[in-house]
Amino acid sequence: MAKQITMVDKAIIMDSQAIKRALTRVAHEIVERNKGVSDVTLVGIRTRGVPLAQRIAEEIKRIEGVDLPVGVLDITLYRDDLSTLAYQPIVHETLIPFSINNKKVVLIDDVLFTGRTVRAALDAIIDIGRRLLFN
């Protein structure tokens, strides 16, 4: 006897207005906790952290009138589960076209769960800083 599959609708956790309000709160927190944004940079963790970083930068510009630099970080090669992802994982470009030396780097991603992604991102940022020091 074949098992019947029932489709379940996804739950909507936040609608577009709730997301906008949350991003506004995050932008305000970044400004407040850093006492302004003079030394702040945003780095979105590829893939879904990038559009969030861009939207937060837009919101900070609206609040402070300052364009923050936004970078893109691919952490694929820094993941501790790299061997389980794929035989040949796809590595995308990391694009941080500004100096992170003496800057406050705010890492942005769409999910925080176990902290493994954040750890990989920190390792990648540290390597970028090392390359800049020795070049």
List pLDDT tens digits, range 116-126: 889 999 999 99
CATH 3.40.50.300 fits 16-133, yes or no: no
CB 74 within 8 A of CB 115: no
Break the chain into its structural domains and give their ranges. 16-133
Element (H, E) at 57: helix 49-64
- Report the sign of the C-alpha dihedral through residues 11, 16, 22, 23, in that order: positive
- Which residue has tokens 């009138």? 65
Q: How many CB atoms lie within 10 A of CB 103?
A: 15
- pTM for this predicted structure: 0.84
Q: For residues 131 and 135, what is the distance between their CA atoms, to the nearest angstrom? A: 6
pLDDT in tens, 60-101: 999 999 999 999 999 988 877 766 656 677 788 999 999 998
pLDDT exceeding 90 applies to what percent of the chain? 59
Q: For residues 14 and 88, what is the distance between their CA atoms, to the nearest angstrom? A: 35
